[in-house]
Amino acid sequence: MEILKQPWPWYVAGALIGLIVPALLILGNKHFGISANLRHACAACFPANIPFFKYEWKKEIWNFFFVAGIIAGAFIAARFLANPAPMEVHTNLVTELNTYGINDYSQMMPAEIFSFKSLFTLRGFIMLVVGGFLVGFGTRYAGGCTSGHAIMGLSNLQVPSLVATISFMAGGFIMANLILPFILRL
């Protein structure tokens, strides 16, 4: 039990995530992917006669069940398997974040950004609302996210998925190193 409560090493997590690929294929011919759920949500709730959302979303209902499982699993892990110790973070990052007034390491995410109080500040609004919009718009434009392209697509040796994965990483590096310092200073 104590081992379960410690943060799990990358090779355990990576191997388990990799095994989701064959598990979904063998259980029912499903290709690993999550961001499509956002599209199915649009198709189910507000199709608005847009061709991109006019399809039989009920055929993709397995993906909602998959996400419901993720929600349940995350709840179980956070509730019963949580690591009580504060986050261990690289000292350079701690120093940098300190200059933006971010010092909360008690949880996985800093309350200075991820709280309702922060949402109503300019910084919090950009981080949460604009950030979320880019995730939704970008993954659909790219045709997949980290699971659909970086894991499922690369597992099937697809060059377009490699292009997408490199673009994800490039975007992340540009944002984190060149743009985020200005946003976090707001």
Partner 1 sequence: MNDRVIITPDQVKLKSPVIVMDTDFEVRSLDTMCINESVQQHPWWYNFKYAAVGVLFGIVFVKAEIISWFRIQEMFRLQSFHMYGVIGTAVVVGVISVWLIKKLKVKTIYGEDIPFHPKKFNKGQIIGGLMFGFGWAMTGACPGPLFAQIASGFFVVVVVLLSAIAGTWVYGFFRERLPH
Task: Identify residues 155-184 at the interface with partner 1 (CB under 8 A).
Answer: 155-161, 163-177, 179-180, 183
Q: Taking CB under 8 A as the criterion, which residues in 46-105 touch partner 1?
A: 46, 48, 50-56, 59-63, 65-78, 81-82, 87, 89-90, 92-93, 97, 105
Report the nearest approach of partner 1 to the CB of residue 101 (Å): 15
Report the nearest approach of partner 1 to the CB of residue 35 (Å): 4
Cα–Cα distance, 38 to 44 (Å, whole number)? 10
For partner 1, which residue of 95, 122, 133, 185 counts as binding (CB under 8 A)?
A: 133
Cα–Cα distance, 170 to 80 (Å, whole number)? 36
Which residues, at least 6 apart from 167, have a Cβ–Cβ distance to it below 8 Å?
A: 142
Q: How far is CA 57 from CA 39, 40, 66, in A?
A: 9, 6, 15
Under the binding rule (CB under 8 A), the answer on residue 185 touching partner 1 is: no
Under the binding rule (CB under 8 A), the answer on residue 12 touching partner 1 is: yes
Number of residues that bind partner 1 (CB under 8 A): 137
Under the binding rule (CB under 8 A), the answer on residue 4 touching partner 1 is: yes
98 or 173: CB nearest partner 1: 173
For partner 1, which residue of 2, 95, 106, 116 counts as binding (CB under 8 A)?
A: 116
Find, among 146, 147, 8, the residue nearest to 77 by Cα. Answer: 8
Mask of contacts with partner 1, 136-155, x by CB under 8 A?
xxxxxxxxxxxxxxxxxxxx
Which residues, at least 6 apart from 160, have a Cβ–Cβ distance to it below 8 Å?
A: 143, 149, 153
Exposure pattern of 157-168 as b/e (b: 16+ CB <10 Å)?
eeeebeebbeeb
Under the binding rule (CB under 8 A), the answer on residue 30 touching partner 1 is: yes
